[in-house]
Structure formats: structure tokens, C-alpha cells
């Protein structure tokens, strides 16, 4: 799911499969569930994962791409390509916001997921080149 969560802008080459093992990406998923604040939901179809949304906190010494502060978890979310656009991502996000109001994320400005986040109350806090940091305060 972490691989599926990486947005590839139109015309760009896909990421190599092992990109998720690189430290700047693996810190979002490695040992998930073992750190305070880790919270996630998985959608299954016949027992196979087809989507997930997850929250993890970072600290200022090793900030995530959407870092706000050490108490604000960052959102990761992905739905497998064949299942997109029918509301699964919304349901996964809702399953987290039912429990945690405040969260942040980093998004490429070209990613159509922007609409989903805006609809769910995220606002842009900062922009660096094509990368936006968005915050939802609950
Ligand atoms: C973002 C993602 C998780 C949304 O899941 P989903 O099941 O497609 O979402 P939903 O069907 O609940 O909602 C779709 C909304 O997101 C937007 N959207 C997000 N990604 C989209 C895509 N790839 N194609 C079309 N619409 C997309 C739609 O505009 C729609 O907004 P609307 O309801 O206001 O019209 C999914 O598209 C995905 O995995 N994308 C690739 C990975 C990614 O970009 N992750 C986020 C990184 S910040």
C-alpha cells in the first residue's frame, strides 16, 4: 500500500519497486503499529488488501514531508488502482477522522486527491515547489 500511495505525475516514470525500502519512505511504514500514535485501517476484498489509510507521528529531528509538529500525525493513504473513484478512499479516511481530528499530509499539487482532502477539511499550510503541506484540525 505504501508503494500505491506514491503519486506519479502524468508523464513521469513509475518508481522502482524498492523505493519503499529507502529510508525516506520506509519511515512511514516500517514497524507500523509499534510506535505511539500509529493508527491505520485496511480495506480487504476476499481477504486481499485493496486500500489502506494510516497515521504516524514524526519528530522535528526527522520530520516527514508533511510535518507540522510532533503531536500531529501524518496521513498516508492508497487505494489499489482498480478500486479507485468509488468512495473507498473517503471511507478509509473517515475511519481515521472518526478517532483523530488533527492530521497533516504532503501532496503533489498535481494530484487529484487534493479534491478529496479539501472536501474533508484539509487546508494548505505551505508550499514548496510542487509539494503542498495540508493540515486538518478536526
Ligand atoms: C487518493 C486515493 C487514495 C483516493 O482513493 P479513492 O478510493 O479513489 O477515493 P474516493 O473514491 O473516495 O474519492 C475520490 C476523490 O478523490 C479524487 N481523486 C483522487 N485520486 C484520484 C485519481 N487517481 N483519479 C481520479 N480522482 C481522484 C476525486 O476527484 C474524488 O474527489 P470528488 O469526490 O470530490 O470528485 C486514490 O486515488 C489513490 O490511491 N491514489 C494514488 C495514491 C495517492 O495519490 N495517494 C495520496 C498521496 S497524498
Any ligand 1 atom below 6 A from CB of 9: no
- Structural domains in the chain? 17-100 (3.40.630.30)
Any ligand 1 atom below 6 A from CB of 88: yes
Tell me the pTM: 0.94
**From the alpha carbon of 113, which atom of ligand 1 is closest?**
19
Coil/strand/helix, residue 103: strand
C-alpha to C-alpha distance for 109 and 32, rounded to whole angstroms: 27
Looking at residue 138, its pLDDT comes to: 85
Any ligand 1 atom below 6 A from CB of 77: yes
Contacts 24+ apart (CB under 8 A), 82-87: 82/50, 83/43, 83/45, 83/50, 83/51
Q: b/e map of 44-78 (b: 16 or more CB within 10 Å)? A: eeeeeebbbbbbbbbeeeeebbbbbeeebbbbbbb
Radius of gyration of the chain (CA): 14
Q: What is the pLDDT along the chain (138 residues), one digit of tens a residue?
A: 999 999 999 999 999 999 999 999 999 999 999 999 999 999 999 999 999 999 999 999 999 999 999 999 999 999 999 999 999 999 999 999 999 999 999 999 999 999 999 999 999 999 999 999 999 998
Amino acid at each position: 500500500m505504501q508503494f500505491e500511495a506514491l503519486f506519479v505525475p502524468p508523464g513521469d516514470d513509475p518508481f522502482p519497486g524498492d523505493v519503499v525500502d529507502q529510508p525516506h519512505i520506509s519511515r512511514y511504514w516500517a514497524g507500523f503499529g509499534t510506535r505511539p500514535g500509529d493508527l491505520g485501517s485496511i480495506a480487504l476484498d476476499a481477504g486481499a488488501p485493496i486500500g489502506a489509510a494510516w497515521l504516524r507521528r514524526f519528530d522535528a529531528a526527522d520530520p516527514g514531508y508533511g510535518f507540522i509538529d510532533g503531536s500531529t500525525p501524518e496521513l498516508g493513504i492508497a487505494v489499489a488502482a482498480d478500486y479507485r473513484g468509488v468512495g473507498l478512499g473517503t471511507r478509509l479516511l473517515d475511519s481515521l477522522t472518526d478517532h483523530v481530528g488533527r492530521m497533516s499530509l504532503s501532496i503533489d499539487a498535481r494530484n487529484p486527491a487534493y479534491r478529496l482532502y479539501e472536501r474533508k477539511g484539509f487546508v494548505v499550510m505551505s508550499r514548496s515547489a510542487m509539494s503542498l503541506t495540508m493540515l486538518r484540525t478536526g
